[in-house]
């Protein structure tokens, strides 16, 4: 019976050592795999966010280029309108017909100034949107840094608990050494009893029985400590599930960022509609200017017909300095006729 007990004790020590080693290896592998997968997922998500931010920046740059093109076009139109206004002011001293044209051109110039103002407002809006995109990027990066800091704190907490477990395991090993020493002492006592078997009495047998009972109690205490270590391992697994929940919150933040990006895209679409409306207004302005030019040509032709002189060649029905000066110099009575024609034309225009 004593030899069987010693064999069982040795086997229990070997099994306990193997169990502790396997538990430590499993814990280290689990922590390493979880850290690697967590870092990899964070890196991939950060890369996706950076790519999306780069796309938004490219879109904003393209929109700014379009706005600059519209500004250049409006500046050309403004320059042309200013030249036309200068010509009209130059001819105003010679003919009263240019007063109406000057008024129309002043209105066109005011409309052009309004378009320029709208373009400047649009440019300011684009700058604000770019600033908003930068603020969103900084905010998202701050959130990611906060999440990484919280995950790092959780990892540090796990490492601290691991150190506590290692300390408890060391204490348990010390207790097992003491247990083995007590076993060897009991073995010596058994050998002594075997040599002194003839002198053993009932009182000595009772002492040996009490010693065996103490050994059994120590073994039970050791098994209870092993069960406590298993409970602590389960608690660590619960902490790991909490870390997984935090990764899910990271996914929620990414979804929120995608919603904000959709809002920014919607605002960019509204801005495109506004730019198209500006282009439409510019085309309407061109059409009105063409109508004014045709009206001037008709007035010149009527004056030439009433004066009885041959019509001047007006290629493409365009208003030129030479045609207007010739029409003004020919026919001394052209002023009254021209005013009548002007009044008739203005009435037709009002209709």
Q: What is the pLDDT along the chain (351 residues), one digit of tens a residue?
A: 677 778 888 888 888 888 888 888 888 888 888 888 888 888 888 888 888 888 888 888 888 888 888 888 878 878 877 777 776 566 555 556 556 655 665 665 666 566 656 656 766 765 676 566 556 555 555 554 565 566 556 556 656 766 666 566 666 566 656 655 655 555 455 555 555 554 545 665 566 667 667 766 766 766 676 667 667 667 766 766 776 666 677 667 777 878 888 898 898 899 899 899 999 999 999 999 999 999 999 898 888 888 765 545 444 444 444 444 454 444 434 444 444 443 444 444 433
| Contact (CB, 8 A) for 63 and 126 | yes
CA atoms within 13 A on the CB side of 239: 21
- Return the residue matching tokens 């320029």: 116
Q: Where exactly are the structural domains of the chain?
A: 2-350
Q: Virtual CA dihedral for 8, 12, 14, 15, nearest 10 degrees?
A: 130
Neighbours of 308 (CB within 10 A): 8
Six-digit token string for 11: 């086997």
**Structural contact between residues 125 and 64, judged by C-beta atoms closer than 8 angstroms:** no
Q: Report how far residue 28's alpha carbon sits from residue 34's, in angstroms, rounded to the nearest whole number.
A: 10
Structure tokens at 35: 């850290």
Give the CA dihedral 109, 111, 115, 116, nearest 10 degrees. 30
Query: Considering the entire predicted model, what is its pTM?
Result: 0.25
Helices (H), the chain: 2-91, 98-195, 202-307, 321-329, 334-350
Give φ, ψ of 93 to 5 degrees. Answer: -70, -20
- CA distance linking residue 250 with residue 333, whole number of Å: 87
CB 100 within 8 A of CB 108: no
């Amino acid at each position: 019976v004593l030899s069987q007990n010693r064999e069982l004790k040795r086997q229990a020590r070997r099994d306990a050592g193997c169990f502790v080693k396997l538990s430590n290896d499993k814990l280290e592998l689990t922590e390493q795999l979880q850290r690697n997968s967590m870092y990899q997922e964070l890196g991939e998500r950060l890369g996706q966010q950076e790519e999306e931010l780069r796309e938004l920046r490219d879109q904003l740059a393209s929109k700014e280029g379009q706005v600059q093109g519209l500004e250049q076009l409006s500046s050309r139109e403004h320059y042309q309108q200013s030249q036309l206004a200068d010509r009209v002011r130059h001819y105003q001293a010679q003919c009263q017909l240019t007063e109406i044209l000057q008024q129309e051109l002043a209105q066109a110039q005011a409309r052009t100034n309004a378009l320029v103002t709208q373009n400047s407002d649009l440019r300011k809006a684009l700058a604000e949107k770019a600033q908003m995109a930068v603020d969103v990027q900084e905010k998202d990066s701050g959130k990611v840094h906060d999440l990484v800091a919280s995950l790092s704190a959780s990892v540090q907490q796990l490492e601290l608990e691991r150190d506590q477990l290692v300390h408890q395991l060391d204490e348990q090993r010390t207790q097992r050494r003491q247990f083995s020493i007590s076993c060897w002492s009991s073995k010596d006592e058994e050998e002594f009893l075997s040599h002194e078997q003839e002198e053993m009495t009932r009182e000595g047998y009772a002492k040996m029985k009490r010693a065996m009972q103490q050994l059994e109690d120590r073994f039970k205490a050791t098994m209870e400590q092993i069960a406590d270590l298993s409970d602590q391992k389960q608690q660590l697994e619960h902490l790991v599930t909490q870390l997984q929940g935090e990764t899910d919150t990271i996914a929620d933040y990414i979804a929120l960022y995608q919603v904000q990006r959709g809002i920014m895209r919607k605002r960019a679409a509204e801005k495109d509609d506004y730019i198209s409306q500006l282009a439409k207004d510019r085309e309407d302005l061109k059409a009105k200017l063409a109508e004014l030019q045709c009206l001037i040509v008709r007035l010149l032709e009527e004056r030439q017909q009433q004066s009885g002189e041959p019509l001047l060649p007006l290629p493409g029905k365009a208003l030129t300095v030479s045609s207007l000066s010739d029409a003004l110099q020919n026919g001394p009575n052209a002023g009254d006729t021209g005013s009548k024609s002007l009044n008739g034309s203005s009435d037709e225009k009002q209709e």
